[in-house]
Amino acid sequence: MSNELRRKTPPLVINQRGIMQAPWHEGDVASTTCSACGKQVRARYETRDIRMNRSAVTFSNILVSVCSECDATISLPRQSIAQIREISCWK
């Protein structure tokens, strides 16, 4: 049980400037402007299956922020982009 919890907690990310960034977690919310409906909304972080524009590859369980108003995918957090790159290299 405790192992399970530990595995679900991503490590802190330290970028090149040495600033720590806490990765987003599923269920987090952030106030942002939705690019789809243009409203000031609360974005929910959820894991979804996404497909990149220029490829036919679907990535599963990628953390994205989703508009609470129109359900559009607003953005991919950095950690998800890194995850996608990793998966892409595998294929």
Q: Which residues bind Zn ion (CB under 5 A)?
A: 34, 36-37, 67, 69-70, 72
Nearest CB to Zn ion, comparing residues 48 and 85: 48
Nearest CB to Zn ion, comparing residues 41 and 63: 41
Q: Write down the least CB distance from residue 46 to Zn ion, Å.
A: 14
Whether 76 contacts 62, CB under 8 Å? yes
Q: How far apart are CA 72 and CA 91, in angstroms?
A: 27
Q: Write down the least CB distance from residue 74 to Zn ion, Å.
A: 7
Nearest CB to Zn ion, comparing residues 63 and 67: 67
Whether 41 contacts 67, CB under 8 Å? yes
Q: Which helix (H) or strand (E) holds 40?
A: strand 40-51
- Say which residue the tokens 């040495």 belong to: 18
Q: Write down the least CB distance from residue 60 to Zn ion, Å.
A: 23
